[in-house]
Structure 1
Amino acid sequence: MLSAARQGQEGSTTGAKLEYQFLGPLTMRSGNSSISVSGERSRKLLAGLVVHANQKISIERLIDIVWGDDPPATARQQIQNRLGRLRLMVSHNAPGQRIQRHGDCYQLDAAEECVDGLRFRKLCGEAEIAHRHGHLPHATRLLRQGLTLWRGNALQDINSNALQADAVRWEESRLHAIEQLVNMEFSQGKSAAMIPELQSWIAEYPYHESLHCRLAEALHEAGRTAESLAVVRELRQRLDAELGIAPGAAVHDLERWILVGQESTSSTVLQLDRDAADALRRALTETTRALSILAIALA
């Protein structure tokens, strides 16, 4: 079930800390070496322990994570056997780290910096504190650092219905961090600089109205109004065609704001044109009058 794939480092990994990553494909690393856990059931079991790192998780919950509603009669014994092998692997590759047993519960002990989800949560918390104290540049740096930990969707290669709610919660945390970052950057006048990132994010979240609105706003403020309106209209069409729903009020309000701004700008330009024409007519009239007076004087 278990094998170590050395990548870029020779020799034993003994003494190094194990790092667990689930913000994307489930992986384990020891230094520069990857630790491979083969077998779908073993990976599901590890995923359950990692997502709930430093928390007790019952063997019944682990059985549900691995088999769902149809566990075999030997499920409890299989879980215990696989956990035994996982415990040996952890203790061999990272002395001081362990999977503990507490009666019918198990717990993966891991330092905060060794689990990408825990690091992400910590960085987001620090960013919130920095934001409350008015340190926006520092807050945005912390959020960006946290978002770089994501390598895909949470638990994206783990097919377990019992872990879907956990995956959704982590995805919601990621979206919240993205929205906070965008709001902070906009408040610092950096909306135009956010356009490429917003374009990338809406490709990943094609139904997310807030991100579409922010992209449309940034494009409009950058003078790219036609592209801005196209973002809103493409969102409306996608929601209608693929989900059968209409966008929320915020989308309609933004589109109206862009259109009114466009009409206001057009009206201003038209008024300026009219003022210029009136000034030219007045100038021509005064010139004609002056020439008439000069002609009379010379006659």
Structure 2
Amino acid sequence: MLDLGGSRQQIVLAVLVLNANHSVSQDRLVEAIYDEDPPATSRAQVQICISGLRRLFAAHGHPEMIVTTRQGYMLRVPADAIDLRRFESLVGRARKARDDGRHREAVQHYRDALSLWRGPAFEGIESRSVQALAGWAAEQRITANEDCIQRELELGRHQELVGELTRLVREHSLREGFAAQLMTALYRSGRQAEALRVYREARRVMIEELGIEPNERLQQLEAAILTSDESLDPPAPPVEVPAEPRVAVASVPNMLP
């Protein structure tokens, strides 16, 4: 892990990473650092940050990583050197495999994508511009996680998913999708009372936090669990389409956060 210097330098690098291989103007970097109140020296401060990052990368054998362009500056790196881009690529493969009926392959791609995360994106970087993009990335992560688990439930892996779903419901208490998946996994594991307890807790949180009842899907799921509806039984194993040959994702040096 590299010491990236002060907060301004970290913000500049974060913006360059999010726009890797594309030019970023000085004005955009100024806005990312200072929001709507830049000082008179703001452009000079950006240049100081760029110089500091160049020295840092040069000291680690990458003197040409940040280049000056007509529009501003550009971080020049292989596409698969950025975890977020690798994540997007793997999620794209997962969705294609899902749509083509290759469920196990879809799950594998999703799990490979999710394994790239090691905490919140750009944690600790205090910039509205950066955090707005970090929020978007976090939403993509949650959506991929939900879809992956849904595929795994369809493959009959309900018992294996209970622990992970319990953690996800705790971390994302307003995400009714995770609550529904946990209720389903518990019910299929013969734990009906615990599944109903998850619903009651989700309902309590929704009312206290938002002042509303859970959505219709969650209410219908509770009713189905109470009546042991056959529709909740584990599905028959899906018919698998032969998997496409997997393309190995090359490992890359740990050069960037």
TM-score (ref. length: structure 2)? 0.84
1:171 and 2:138 are equivalent in the alignment: yes
Question: What does 1:210-289 correspond to in 2, within 5 Å?
Answer: 210-261=177-228
Distance 1:250 1:107 in 2: 47
| Unaligned residue ranges in structure 1 (runs of 5+) | 1-33, 263-299
1:89 and 2:81 are equivalent in the alignment: no
The match for 1:49 among 16, 21, 45 is 16
Instruction: Find the counterpart in structure 2 of residue 30 from structure 1.
Output: none
| Residues 41-63 of structure 1: per-residue CA shift (max 9 Å, x gap) | 11111111112212222211111
| Unaligned residue ranges in structure 2 (runs of 5+) | 230-257
| Residues 50-99 of structure 1: per-residue CA shift (max 9 Å, x gap) | 12212222211111111111111000111012112212322342437511
2:145 alignment partner AA: I
Aligned-residue Cα RMSD (Å) equals 1.6
Instruction: Find the counterpart in structure 2 of residue 121 from structure 1.
Output: 88
Instruction: Find the counterpart in structure 1 of residue 112 from structure 2.
Output: 145
Distance 1:96 1:257 in 2: 62
| Residues 111-160 of structure 1: per-residue CA shift (max 9 Å, x gap) | 12211111111111122222233222222111111111111111121111
Larger RCO: Structure 1 or Structure 2 (Cα < 8 Å, ≥ 6 residues apart)?
A: 2
2:12 alignment partner AA: L
Instruction: Find the counterpart in structure 2 of residue 80 from structure 1.
Output: 47
| Residues 198-227 of structure 1: per-residue CA shift (max 9 Å, x gap) | 111112211110000010011111110110
Closer, same or farther: CA 95–40 of 1 in aligned 2, 3 Å: closer
Distance 2:221 2:63 in 1: 55
* Greater strand share, structure number: 1
Q: Which has the larger radius of gyration?
A: 1
Instruction: Find the counterpart in structure 1 of residue 247 from structure 2.
Output: none
SS of 2:2's equivalent? strand
Instruction: Find the counterpart in structure 2 of residue 205 from structure 1.
Output: 172
SS of 2:67's equivalent? strand
Question: 8 Å contact 2:57–2:63 — kept in the other structure?
Answer: no
The match for 1:67 among 34, 43, 53 is 34
SS of 2:62's equivalent? coil
The match for 2:159 among 192, 197, 205 is 192
Closer, same or farther: CA 186–48 of 1 in aligned 2, 3 Å: same
**Between Structure 1 and Structure 2, how many residues are aligned?**
229
